[in-house]
């Protein structure tokens, strides 16, 4: 009589621990390649309880909803790709929809969600309070990547939000620049009402200044509404910089794109970065790291944020009544040339 194949037999064949094989066969996390190897070997060895040991995964239908087209492609492409890959690896159906509130009614989103029979939504670049309110009113599982920059009351509706640790990171680095470089005057450039992350970065700079015992005049910041002011226009940006009452030791920008445009505007005005003024960006995109001068920035783990967002969403699909969760993902400071006065 043929002896039944056991987990220890599969482990011995593969040179893996019994615990690893058991996890792979019971749907627990192990690296993808390891899991595939274990499953193949279990099939080859006719592991009797194989079919019962692996829970049947549900084929969820996931909608990635964007509030506007993506412009910062080096930031968004790896993030979206990680979500798409996760769906592919788990046999989920993946859909994308870009919503233009000026041209399309919200009813079209509702009809689309209904037509694809979506189980959950990942909302990205959805910063309008009215849009967020309508999405939450659908009472569907939803995870937001970033959020609106204004005070917003979700009326006890449950959702998930994932963001980077912007306020603490900027606050700590501002304090470092004050202590180490003897900087006293700062300027923030960017619409801090645009989204939660921009707001947190501005508050972070203010916190760092206050923690260091310095004062700050908000009139020395450039906080124009980005719906009416083009931060990519270096001539307009230069005009704003020229009107600053106190020329800053350091300019902190909402993101790397604004940091690059700010440096160009400063150069056009005859200022050198970093000798005359330091500049700090945020996001850690390649264009800024390869820029001249290389821009000091905070590197956001875009792939992890994408994967963690869909993991949160799937867990909410499985447990719709779990409390609202806000996840803060650490960022890594990459200090480069634009804050190094010795260059």
What's the average pLDDT block by block, 10 residues per block, for the chain (343 residues)?
76 88 75 81 72 58 90 86 92 92 88 95 94 93 93 80 95 98 97 96 98 96 96 98 97 97 98 98 94 97 95 94 93 96 71
d(CA 57, CA 31): 17
Catalogue all structural domains in the chain, each as residue range(s) with its CATH number.
Answer: 7-44 (no CATH), 61-164+302-330 (3.40.50.2300), 166-300+333-339 (3.40.50.2300)
User: Which letter does DSSP use for residue 301 in this model?
Assistant: -
Residue of 334, 265, 339, 256 whose CA lies nearest to 291: 256
How confident is the model at residue 41, as a pLDDT? 83
47, 26 Cβ separation under 8 angstroms: no
- Look up tokens 């306020």; give the residue: 167
d(CA 89, CA 102): 36
d(CA 334, CA 112): 42
d(CA 57, CA 108): 30
How confident is the model at residue 251, as a pLDDT? 98
How confident is the model at residue 210, as a pLDDT? 97
Instruction: Tell me: cis bond preceding 226? Omega within 30 of 0 counts.
Output: no
How confident is the model at residue 33, as a pLDDT? 80
**pTM value?**
0.81
How confident is the model at residue 27, as a pLDDT? 66
96, 70 Cβ separation under 8 angstroms: no
Residues 164, 165, 170: CA angle, nearest 5 degrees: 120
How confident is the model at residue 343, as a pLDDT? 65
Half-sphere exposure for 139 (CA within 13 Å, toward CB): 1
d(CA 219, CA 189): 11
């Amino acid at each position: 009589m043929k002896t039944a194949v056991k987990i220890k037999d599969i482990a011995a064949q593969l040179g893996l621990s019994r615990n690893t094989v058991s996890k792979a066969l019971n749907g627990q996390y192990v690296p993808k390649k390891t899991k595939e190897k274990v499953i193949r070997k279990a099939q080859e060895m006719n592991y009797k309880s194989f079919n019962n040991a692996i829970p049947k995964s549900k084929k969820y239908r996931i909608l990635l909803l964007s509030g506007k087209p993506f412009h910062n492609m080096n930031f968004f492409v790896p993030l979206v790709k990680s979500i798409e890959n996760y769906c592919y690896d788990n046999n989920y159906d993946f859909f994308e929809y870009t919503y233009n509130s000026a041209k399309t009614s919200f009813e079209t989103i509702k009809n689309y969600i209904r037509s694809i029979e979506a189980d959950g939504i990942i909302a990205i670049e959805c910063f309008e309070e009215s849009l967020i309110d309508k999405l939450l009113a659908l009472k569907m599982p939803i995870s937001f990547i970033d959020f609106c920059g204004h005070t917003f009351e979700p009326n006890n509706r449950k959702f998930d939000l994932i963001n980077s640790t912007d306020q603490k990171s900027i606050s700590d680095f501002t304090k470092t620049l004050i202590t180490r470089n003897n900087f006293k005057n700062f300027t923030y450039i960017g619409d801090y009402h645009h989204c939660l992350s921009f707001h947190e970065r501005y508050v972070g700079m203010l916190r760092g200044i206050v923690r260091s015992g310095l004062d700050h005049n908000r009139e020395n910041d450039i906080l124009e509404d980005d719906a009416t002011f083009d931060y990519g226009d270096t001539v307009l940006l230069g005009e704003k910089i020229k009107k600053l009452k106190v020329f800053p030791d350091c300019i902190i920008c909402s993101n790397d794109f604004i940091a690059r445009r700010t440096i160009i505007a400063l150069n056009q005005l005859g200022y050198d970065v970093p000798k005359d003024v330091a500049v700090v960006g945020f996001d850690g995109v390649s264009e800024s790291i390869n820029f001249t001068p290389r821009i000091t920035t905070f590197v956001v783990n875009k792939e992890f944020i994408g994967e963690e967002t869909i993991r949160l969403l799937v867990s909410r699909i499985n447990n719709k009544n779990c409390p609202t969760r806000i996840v803060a993902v650490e960022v890594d400071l990459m200090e480069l040339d634009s804050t190094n006065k010795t260059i």
